[in-house]
Structure 1
Amino acid sequence: MSLRQEKHSQSTSGEEPIHEVVDEAAVADDDNKHLNKDGLAESDSERDEAHAAVQTIDARGQKPLSEFKRFAMMTAATFAMICASTSYAYNIISGNIQNQYGYKFRDMSNISTVGMVFCYFLLPYGTLLDLFGPRIIYTIGCVLFPLGALLFGLTFQGVIGGSVVRFCVYNAMLSLGSQLFDLASVVVMLSVFPTRKGWVIALLKTMMGLGQAIIACMKQGFFAEHTANYFYFLIALVVVIGVLVQLLVKLPPYHLTNWELKHMPAEKQAKRLATRAVYLKQEPPMWRFYFGVAVLIALVIYLPMTSAIGAFCKDNISKNAAQTFAIIAVVLTCCLLLMMVPFPYLDRLTTKKTKSVDDEEKVEEAVETIEEGVVVPHAKAKNIETDIDYIAPQYQTTFLQSCCTLKLWCILWTMFCGVGAEFVIIFNAKYIYAALNKVPSTRPLPRC
């Protein structure tokens, strides 16, 4: 039985008091329910669960970020994507392998397929990234890729023998090592620029696509007749960039690894998590992104143009001309270094103004006030800010819960069909080119 109380109210007409019975349990239940945006009642537990995913941010007491350091990381990550594109290095020298060893299409397809499988099976390494951070991923990449490239180079130099099985192993190490640069760089930079994820993806993924053409242009210009030296050059390139990214590219303080979540004291975790407010509120100077995109557009125009010239004028292209094409491609790529150059005037011109520290001091804890008899959240008056004021709400489901959704499997099916067809074309471009031009498949593709 629920408790009942008797409420007496006196009528204005002087009549006998009216006895109104109110159910306290019903009142308490009504008090614990609120209307959501759809007009449906929701309990306090449901409301608290919804607000758990939304975090208030407060940048008071936090040091401003160094944009030079942020864009130094971005520049290093952009060059790391060139290392990631070296997974297609096998496609550049596949004609040399076929000519030297007389392999058939099935043998060449087996080598490329094994490399592709190891290249894109990255779940174990994603677990390592979540557990320890990007440094271990870069380290593994700096070991696997140089080892695979070294074995390829020694094979073309005649120091060791070659076979289909050996080439499969070499290509697997080379492909996996290169893709680890992609995995670590993208994850880190999305955390460093949480409010500019679109620009980050555009720069990094476009650079990864252009990296193959840049490397092919350099191979044709400097190593056309020395395949072994081409692999030794790739080793030096990957090692140098790998050392730089290990020194520069780091997770922001608020992005805690699983190891840190388990072993770091709670007070230190809270202090590092508080730095997320600065990464959300401080606007990056957009001219740096604009400049990076402009360089990529120049490369998108220049590289296909030189490839077309090399394909249609291959009999008239001298060695000096090929080297000139390669030098221009290198110079254009190195222009990306200007993204991190300090330029205070352009920084101020292309950066949106954020709230001052004085405004931040006015922000207080949310309390309830009464205006004209209506309960109004004090956060509206004091403009309490949350993370969703700067970034879109994230999915709150676990990995296993996401695997049970139709949306995830639709995305997977789309990628399976689209990306699968893409790789079939990329890794068999040599044979498609030979079929279209009615020439033997052992003839090398024109590259500049």
Structure 2
Amino acid sequence: MGDLPSNQRIGSRVVFSAQRSPASVLEDPLAQQQEIADFASERTRENSEGSGHNASNILLIDPKKISDFMRFRVMFIGMLLFISSSTQGLHALFALYMEKVYMYDVRTMVDIFAAGTAFGLFVFPFGAMYDFFGPKIVIGIATAITSLSHLLFGLTFAGHIDASKTRFCIYFAMMNWGCYAFDVAALPAILTYAPRDRAQPTGVMKTFSGMGASLISCMFRGFFKNRYDHLMYFLMAIVLGFGLIGTFCLSNAPYEVTRWEDSRISLKERLRRHLIRNRYMSQLLPKRRFYILSCLLLVMNVYLSIQAVCAAYFQKEMTEGQYRGIAIGAIAIVLGILLLLVPLHALDGDTPQDHTVLERAREKERKLAELRRLRLAREREEKDAEKEEERAQKAVAHQNAGDVAIEVKDLPRILVDQSSPHADGHSVPYDNSLQHKDGEKDDEDGEETKHRRYLPLDPEASLFEADDLIPIEGGDDDASRNGWQRLGNTSIATRVSVSNVSLAARRKDNEGAEMDFITRELSTYDRPHVETITVCGEVFVTPVYETSFLLSLTYVDLWLLFYTVFAVWGVGITLTANWNIRIMVGSVFKGLDYQTYVLFATLAGISTAFGRVAIGGYEVLLLYIGKRRGVMLPATIALPVPSVMLSLALIFYLSFPGNYSLLVVYVIAAVAYGFSTSMTIYVIGIIFKRDIGMHYGFCFLGAALGIVLLYRVLLFHVYDHHKLVLPPSLHVNTGGVCVGKECLQKTLIVYLILVVLSIGTSIWLHYRYWKLVHGKLKHKRVITHFVKKRLRRINRRRRENGHATEGGAQQQKEEEEEEK
């Protein structure tokens, strides 16, 4: 794996203070020097590379707890933005209107869809803007572009603007561009609030990006009376309203540093954000709200699917009132997501982290109460004994006064040092030289003080709250800023100093400590820096690659992901887009009517939504296997799954006859495509630390290339070549329709080859990541408390003493039997 990054000291030091608590659940580290040494030796054996990994087993965090309510509120705003993003999926709805009213043939409709989708997927500039300035400016621009496209569609459908193929291509391109811009900016920003639990928010947001179109279609049948221009005005109002909310309310998590801020913030501010980042990395997110939301999504998915099929098969029997009632029911279900805004702790519940902390805190409280009782009893006995001794000494001193004179000149130096109350300077949390100002501290007080110093966040990770950051070296903001500008491609690291601290760090109820700022080379594949943070048995591996986007282009990993997206997304969009379902299935399904087409499209939509939300269950499965089975699997292990499923679907497409058996194809292919859309951003966040927007936007470029090559060129070129041509004497316009297996056979074979190759690229990417982290997952470097180490040793001693006692009892029993 190459040499580990070397650490280098910056000429800067920061003093922090650690919180004191009158009843802490953590034993004082001052009395645990031997355990520190033992733990360090274990770490050395696990990581012979040395300084490339964490220099300290202490993880300092920001003292302010994260509001889980705030995090869910951010996700609610994200849902609104993804409902706006889903409006591009209504192409299947107004495409039928365009084909009927403007008499467009298949070639024209394919050109409009391909041009609009390919250009809309070119969101790399928005990804770069997100990395440089954050999500607000991108969401504002996306809101303006998408709203304008809906307005132009509405004016054209109303007859105020002349319709043409070129205009519709531009309108649809603008619509897709704005909708995908919401995706590339909002989703990375939302995931910064849940860096440990990325899968659940990803699945929920991606699901809304697809189900929003089904919801709006249901509302269209109930309220708009086939007025497509009114529908477009309504969509414009929705996008404007939700977009303005996102523009003003959505931002990155407070620990994120944008490219624009990177060279402008001070060293103290950088450290503050680093501690906030550690807090986000170590505070678990309540899962109960996600479970409630998953149930709501399941109900809404089933409801919208059933109503779509019923509306198609019973189109002649359905009345306007029935359509309106179905739409009101769908709206009521969607309003259930407002539960995410209700500030009730009962909706969240306690995390395993909370349960463990409270349980250990109660146990420690009982121990501390017993210690206080024993200490008070000893103090009373000692005071009585001291009084008796003082009386006796006074009597003896009174008798011998003036008889003996003692001249004190020079006492040994060691006695002077031992008697001085300030001989060791100022105390630090990791130094044995703790002294009270008055120099008087008995053993009992020391024993209790060991239990009264620090209150960590969680018993399975040494998380210390650090506040009152005071730069004492390199404290000038301009100097620190210039120093960071000169650092270039380096990454922040911290090291807790065991030296004494400045008086500036001491407070009445706080203990001070120093933290040195050090730098190391950026973590790459050649020089990896793998950091794991384990809380309550959940192992979290921080992103390994800390390179910028331009530097990532020099590594094969990003290109492997690019090709995987090119193949899977390109084929997936071609197969599952509603308009394409009609022309592809219609070429092999004899007698395809509107009702059957809706059935195929509905099943494809359900399956895509299931694939998108399945990423949450996948993460839960990984945690279960790790905690219950002890098998730690990297998160990239499922990356080849969509390619395998899509290959299977293409084989079935080539093998099955043209009938309802093709439903199996569209279920498997849609699940694969949906899972891939969620898995892509999930993997990017796992592997890459910097420039998430540009990395994500680059993958969208792969999808855009797939639409151009795999859909417009490969599929339609073969389809158009075999289109149905009738004699001119019949005067029948076939609309460029192709019928027969030869319309798609060559195209599907090429698709299959490309997707099979994507299996290899995804496995290769997984193997490269697994090669970096498997050692850390196999030998879990759990950041553990000293109290946990002490409990292990106590249990070991009890077992040894128990074996010795059992052996002695057994020997005594044998001797008694011999005497008898």
TM-score calculated relative to the size of structure 2:
0.44
Structure 1 gap segments, 5+ residues each: 1-33, 369-385
2:545 is aligned to: 396
- Mapped partners of 1:156, 1:392: distance in 2: 52
Q: Which residue of 2 aligns with 1:209?
A: 210
Cα distance in 2 for residues equivalent to 1:48 and 1:215: 56
Partner of 1:149: 150
2:329 alignment partner in structure 1: 328
Question: Where do 1:294-443 residues align within 5 Å?
Answer: 294-350=295-351, 352-353=353-354, 358-359=455-456, 365=496, 388-389=533-534, 391-396=540-545, 398=547, 399-425=549-575, 426=577, 427-432=579-584, 435=587, 436=589, 438=591
**In 2, are the aligned partners of 1:71 and 1:340 still within 8 Å (CA)?**
yes
2:59 aligned partner: 57
Deviations 1:274-324 (A, max 9, x none): 211221232222211111111111122111111221222222122221222
Amino acid paired to 2:591: K
Q: Paired residues, what number?
A: 389
Which residue is equivalent to 2:95? 94
Work out the CA distance in 1 between the residues paired with 2:75 and 2:178: 20
SS at match of 1:342: coil
- 1:332 to partner: Cα distance: 1.0
Task: Report the Cα offset of residue 248 of structure 1.
Answer: 2.4
Which residue type is aligned with residue 109 of structure 1? V
Amino acid at match of 1:391: F
Larger radius of gyration: 2
* Structure-1 separation of matches of 2:180 and 2:257: 23
Segments of structure 2 that go 5 or more residues without pairing to the other structure are 1-42, 362-453, 457-462, 467-494, 500-530, 603-820
What is the rounded CA distance, in whole Å, between the counterparts of 1:388 and 1:361 in structure 2? 14
Equivalent position amino acid for 1:149 in 2: H
Whether the aligned pair in 1 keeps the contact of 2:112 and 2:168 (CA below 8 Å) is: yes
**2:60–2:464 Cα contact (<8 Å) kept:** no
Please report how far the alpha carbon of residue 256 of structure 1 lies from its aligned counterpart in structure 2 after TM superposition: 1.0
Q: Retained in 1: the 8 A contact 2:134–2:252? A: yes
Residue 249 (1) aligns with residue 399 (2): no
Instruction: Give the TM-score of the pair, scaled to structure 1.
Output: 0.79
Q: Which residue of 2 aligns with 1:73?
A: 74
Residue 391 of structure 1 deviates from its aligned partner by 2.4
1:230-309 residue pairs with structure 2 within 5 A?
Answer: 230-309=231-310
Amino acid at match of 1:417: A
Q: What is the alpha-carbon distance in structure 1 between the residues aligned to residue 60 and residue 68 of structure 2?
A: 20
Letter in 1 for 2:580: N
Decide which moves more: 338-347 or 124-133.
338-347
Q: What per-residue deviation string (whole Å, max 9, x for no partner) do you get for residues 243-263 of structure 1?
A: 112232211110011111122
- 1:397/1:170 CA distance change after superposition, 3 Å: same
Indicate conservation of the 8 Å contact 1:287/1:346, yes or no.
Answer: yes
Q: Distance in 2 between matches of 1:291 and 1:80?
A: 20
Q: Identity of aligned pairs, percent?
A: 27
Give per-residue Cα distances to partners, 1:325-346, cap 9 Å, x unaligned.
2211111111111012111234
Amino acid at match of 1:186: L
CA RMSD of aligned residues (A): 3.0
Q: Secondary structure at the match of 1:263?
A: coil
The corresponding residue for 1:6 is none
Distance 1:95 1:142 in 2: 26
Against the structure 1 CA distance between its residues 233 and 361, is the aligned structure 2 distance closer, same or farther, given a 3 Å change threshold?
closer
Between the aligned partners of 2:563 and 2:285, the Cα distance in structure 1 is: 36
Cα distance change of structure 1 residues 284 and 163 upon mapping to structure 2, 3 Å threshold: same
Instruction: Give the superposition deviation at 1:444.
Output: 9.9
Return closer, same or farther for 1:76/1:35 CA change in 2, 3 Å cut-off.
Answer: closer
| Residue 167 of structure 1: aligned partner | 168
Residues 1:266 and 1:321: Cα distance change in structure 2 (over 3 Å): same
Q: 2:225, 2:590 → 1: CA distance?
A: 22
Distance 1:112 1:224, change over 3 A: farther
1:76 deviates by 1.2
Q: How does 1:102-141 map to 2 (within 5 A)?
A: 102-141=103-142
Does the 8 Å CA contact 1:138/1:180 hold for their aligned counterparts? yes
Equivalent-residue separation in structure 1 for 2:197 and 2:228 (angstroms): 40
Alignment CA distance shift 1:267-1:111 (3 Å): same
**Contact in 1 for aligned 2:581/2:597 (Cα 8 Å):** no
SS in structure 2 of the partner of residue 255 of structure 1: coil
Moved more, 328-337 or 420-429: 420-429
SS in 2 for 1:83: helix
Q: 2:60–2:465: 8 Å Cα contact kept in structure 1? A: no
Paired residue type of 1:420: G
SS at match of 2:171: helix
Question: Deviations for 1:124-159, whole angstroms, at most 9, x for unmatched residues?
Answer: 110000000000111011100011110000001011
In 1, distance between residues paired with 2:121 and 2:93?
19
**Distance in 1 of aligned mates of 2:317 and 2:346:** 48
SS in 2 for 1:160: coil
